Every structure is written in C-alpha cells, then in structure tokens.
Amino acid sequence: MPAKPKIIHFPYMHEELILPELRPAGLFLNPGLMDDRDPFFTSQHLVLDKGQSQYFLEQCRQFGEQFRKVSDVTHMGMAQVEDFYTGSTQSIQYELSTYGNQETSRDSRQQDFLQAQQYLLLNFALEERLLELSRIDADLNRSWSSFDASLGIEDDEERFQNMERQPISPEISTEHWQELLKAYTAFMPSDGILLVHEESVCRELEEYGVYWESQAPDSFFSGLNDYSKLNVYFATLTLDKFNGNMRAFAREVKLLRAVYST
C-alpha cells in the first residue's frame, strides 16, 4: 500500500484557526520556531534556526516600535533605505547579513529560502498576536458578563440595548494568501499537499485555473474520527499560471479542500 502523502495546513499556521475535526488531518508548517516534531512539518531548507528565527522577530519588533506616528513611517518611506540602515544599531538588514557566510549570501537560491522563511515567520507572529488579542476579548466579555450580573443588569434591559462594547481583536485576514503560498512552496516536500481551509481562498484559486475534483477521503486522510460527512476535493495549481514572474521552488503544488456536509 502506498504511503499517505504529507498534508500541510494552509493558509493558517496555528491549530486554533481551523476546525478541530480537521486538525489531525495534516501538519502545520514550522517557520523555524518549533522543534522538529508532530504536529509540525520542518523543512530541511530552513535558513534560520530556532534561535535566529526568534532573534529575527525580536529585531522586527524593535524596528516597528521606532515609529510612534504614521508620519514617522511616511518619512521612512521617503528617505533612502541605504542611508537609514547605515550606522543603525537596530538594522535588520545588518543582522540578517551576519547569518551564514559570504558564499551563502551570494547564492540567490539560498536568499530565496531566507526571504520565504522571513515571510512565514512574520505571518506566524501576526497570527499569534491576533490570537492573543482574541483571547483578551474573550476574557473581557466574561468580565463584562460577570459585572452585569453583579449589578443585576439583564441582557434585554432597554437602557443597555444600545451599549456597544467593541472587540479589540481584528479579524484574521487571508487577503495575502498569494504571497503566503509562494513562501509555502519554498518548503513543501516532494510528496506534500496543501489542505486549504478558507472557502474564499478556494474560490479565488479557481481564478488561477484550479479545478476541484471529488475524491475519497480515506485516499488522503487517516485517523479522523468520522468520514461519513466529509467531502474531499483535489486539485493541482500550476505555478506558472499563478504568477509567471515568480521564482518558484516547484513547478506545481497539489491542493486539497475538505468540507463537512450538514
């Protein structure tokens, strides 16, 4: 019996963002921050190790904290980047240049791997921050409910019907999935398949020539509790159609779509 393919979740890198029923169906792509173990897939092509990955994100955080106002960022954009980095003690460009030797830095393929890993690291950190804000929202809602109950306020009391308590956490966006897909393709194994979780992304993929074909779930998944209501669709995306100018690490990428019927 042929081995099951290596399925990797996309576009999310945290298990909290996908259906609990589908979490065991695949692995999460490790951008370099976790140990090489399940439920993560760790590519052998990662340029930065765990310590360097953490340091890169810390440098990015410090870099962003320099800008207190939008006008500061605007000024940064108008200035010459080379002049800004010269002599800067928090220069990300300088810090990254210390990774590897000169021969490696001249290898364009290695630079592609580095840039792809950087993008994945930043996306992972963004997801982590948004999830943290979401948890704070949940705690605030529980606190408000407890406070209302202690005052004897009912949910349907007229004077409180128009009270708005806005959440502090924004929605997690997948509008950048095209760029994320490019980064994923750098580290996909030869037997890898991306399991796409967002219906909006699945529909947009069709605009790039993707055609979803129905497949038997047990052809791809093992260990799921219930296959009876699971509909699985398979497709192949030709990366030349996706972006003719991209320097891809693979000619095509295999995709899966899993939908539970009601």
Q: How does pLDDT run across 91-139, given as a tens digit for each residue?
A: 444 344 444 544 544 477 888 899 899 999 999 998 988 888 766 655 5
Closest CA to 26 of 36, 16, 40, 45: 40
- Domain locations along the chain: 6-43+173-260, 50-98
Q: How does pLDDT run across 180-194, given as a tens digit for each residue?
A: 998 999 999 988 999
Tell me how far apart the alpha carbons of residues 129 and 91 are, in angstroms, rounded to a whole number: 23
- pLDDT of 167 higher than 90: no
Q: What angle do CA 110, 116, 118 make, to 5 degrees?
A: 105
Q: How does pLDDT run across 42-98, given as a tens digit for each residue?
A: 999 999 999 999 999 988 877 656 655 545 544 444 344 344 333 333 344 434 444
pTM: 0.74
